Amino acid sequence: MTDKKNAKDIIIKAASRLFRTRGYYGVGLNEILKESGTAKGSLYYYFPNGKEELAIAAIDYTKEFVADKIRRALEKFEEPIQAFQAHINDLSEEFGVHKEIFGLPIGTIAGETSLTSEPIRLACQSAFECWQLIYVEKLLASGYSEKHAKELGLLINAMLEGGILLCLTTKSREPLRIIAEQIPFLLKK
């Protein structure tokens, strides 16, 4: 999680960005190397098992990165409704500003590999669980029941991945904004 120090982190960061935006099979090793300014030797030194191992590291990095972003956004308001709206609007805003480097956090790679690579699938699952847990905790703190909180946490995860996908496909930030507006109806106790 430290900044640009060793080559390993640089490679992970570049891979994370590229995998997120274009998927696992859509990005080649050469492109990752070019973007990160490193060479093949370094990649296979740090990731002896190649592309798959790198992808898992990239997903883990994205998991933590996104988790921090979620936490920071949810802290802004005590009330879940306002907090989640703030979070979603943050995403929408980010998409509006620099749409090129914005991808489904891990949706694309998750869909591509769910049937072809069990290790990557598990890494994606872990990320989704991590984010959901943050949502759940926020809801529990406001008195939602354990069951209800878990259901809503899952739903928010699904809505966000789907919403980001729609933003990408329509090249507009409207989908996420509309989703944010529906949050109050959803979180009504």
Residues at the interface with DNA (CB under 7 A): 1-2, 6-7, 27-31, 38-42, 44-46, 48-52
Provide the residue count of the chain.
189
Residue 87 φ then ψ, to 5°: -60, -50
- Contact residue for a second copy among 114, 133, 137, 146 (CB under 8 A): 114
Q: What is the identity of the amino acid at 176?
A: L
Residue 50 to residue 40: CA distance in whole angstroms: 10
d(CA 70, CA 136): 12
Interface with a second copy: number of residues (CB under 8 A): 46
CA 185, 171, 130, 134 dihedral sign is negative
The closest alpha carbon to 54, from 120, 126, 127, belongs to 120
Residues 142-171 as x/- pattern, contact with a second copy by CB under 8 A: ---------xx-xx-xxxxxxx-xx-xxxx
Gap between the Cα atoms of 141 and 185, Å rounded: 19
What x/- string results for residues 48 through 67 when contact with a second copy is judged by CB under 8 A?
--------------------
Residue 6 touches which of a second copy, DNA, none (Cβ within 5-8 Å per kind)? DNA
Task: Give the interface with a second copy as residue ranges (CB under 8 A).
Answer: 21-26, 100, 103-104, 107-108, 110-112, 114-116, 121, 124-125, 128, 151-152, 154-155, 157-163, 165-166, 168-171, 175, 178-179, 181-182, 185-186, 188
